[in-house]
Amino acid sequence: MATMTDIAREAGVSLSTVSYALSGKRPISPATRERIQSAIDRLQYHPTASARALASQRTSLLGVAVPQREDVDAHVIMEFVSSILTASHEQDYDLLLVAAEDHERTRRVMDEGKVDALIVMDLVEDDPRIPSLAALPRPVVLIGYPQESGGLACVDFDFLSGAMLAVRELHARGSRRIGMLTSPAATHRPSPTYARRSRLGYTMACTELGIAPTIVEVPSDAESLGAFVREQLVQEQRFDALFVHQEPALAHLGRAFAAQGVACPEDVQIVAISPEDVAVSGPWDVSNVELPISSIGRTALAMLLEMLSGPAAPPHSRLLSPTFTPRGTTRA
């Protein structure tokens, strides 16, 4: 396999001249550039990752800080990673995964130039990493929308608008006692950025529609959800609809409805914020406001590459708009 040294020898130029020709960092005369290109063609030279890094001062590696806490949904995290990986390969980049909790290692990876840029997942409110992330010498994109981003670029789903859309769809289908079902706040410490926005969107929509907002926190296990259905839906008949922002609860909730004789959507309608595959993988097909994981991952990568490709532009943020898909848990 030909190397840059072979190209230099074949073209009769120095190795540094070949590097400058490949990277475009210094002007090369047309005649010299033509000799180098002819040598490349004759020797069928394909730059290795290390050669590209040498020529361009880039590694063709992107870092992704991935959470490893027990309370995160591993399925959702891997969907994010998969979408970023697929999109990065399309642009001839590879990924280096680092633990989001190990910020010292993340900082070292960036400071030592092991990656060209960084995507950080799982932002929390008042995230203590923001100041040091903002001080890093390479581009950073956050997946999440903290109240204070430190001037960093952010991308996320618009959970506030998504929650409002879910409540409005339930109201339009006749429900007037619409509760929000979610995980106990203590389950997520510190609180992820989406939790506040989802709750706020639910409350704002209820106020807009003249509905008393009621947020119910229930653990995602079968026993707790069974007790919730029995006590609050069967005995008290407290709600005629639920906005669910608690993906792990959906399957258990469907089984509890069946066991307690609660008809959905006749007795209680349900709309969830969830990825499409989660909405259709349980005992029922759930009407949902889709959490567009793949689009978020691809958008984060596109923003990162835009920052790498040209003159520095002010970091910006993007919130992806919600869409509603009716299925079997809402009335027509």
Q: What is the pLDDT of residue 193?
A: 87
| Averaged pLDDT, 121-135 | 88
Whether the pLDDT of residue 232 is over 50: the answer is yes
Q: Where is pLDDT greater, at 122 or 72?
A: 122
Q: Where is pLDDT greater, at 109 or 90?
A: 90
| Averaged pLDDT, 209-233 | 96
Whether the pLDDT of residue 226 is over 60: the answer is yes
The answer to whether 228 touches 220, Cβ cutoff 8 Å, is: no
pLDDT in tens, 157-193: 999 999 999 999 999 999 999 999 999 876 666 788 8
Given pLDDT bands bounded at 50, 70 and 90, which one contains residue 286?
very high
pLDDT in tens, 6-49: 889 999 998 888 877 776 667 788 889 889 888 888 888 876 55
Radius of gyration of the chain from its Cα atoms, rounded to whole angstroms:
26
Percent of residues, the chain, with pLDDT higher than 90: 59
Whether the pLDDT of residue 228 is over 70: the answer is yes
What's 159-291's CATH class? alpha beta
Lowest mean pLDDT among 2-11, 134-143, 273-282, 289-298: 2-11
Check for a shared fold between 4-56 and 61-157+293-320: no
Q: What is the pLDDT of residue 46?
A: 72
Q: What is the pLDDT of residue 288?
A: 98
Whether the pLDDT of residue 324 is over 60: the answer is yes
Q: Where is pLDDT greater, at 49 or 85?
A: 85
Say how far residue 92 (Cα) sits from the centre of its chain: 21
The rounded mean pLDDT for the chain is: 89
Say how far residue 64 (Cα) sits from the centre of its chain: 11
CATH match of 61-157+293-320 with 3.40.50.10440: no
Q: What single-letter amino acid sits at 103?
A: H
Fold designation for 4-56: 434 Repressor (Amino-terminal Domain) (1.10.260)
Q: What is the pLDDT of residue 50?
A: 47
Kindly list the domain boundaries of the chain, sorted by start residue.
4-56, 61-157+293-320, 159-291
3-class secondary structure per residue, 191-254: CEHHHHHHHHHHHHHHHHHCCCCEEEECCCCHHHHHHHHHHHHHHCCCCCEEEEECCCHHHHHH
Separation of alpha carbons 45 and 206, rounded Å:
64
| Averaged pLDDT, 77-100 | 92
| Averaged pLDDT, 95-105 | 86
Burial of residue 164 (CB within 10 Å: 0-12, 13-18, 19+) is buried
pLDDT in tens, 240-254: 999 999 999 999 999
Q: What single-letter amino acid sits at 143?
A: I
**E-assigned strand segments in the chain:** 61-66, 94-99, 117-120, 140-143, 153-157, 178-182, 214-217, 241-245, 269-274, 287-290, 317-320, 324-325
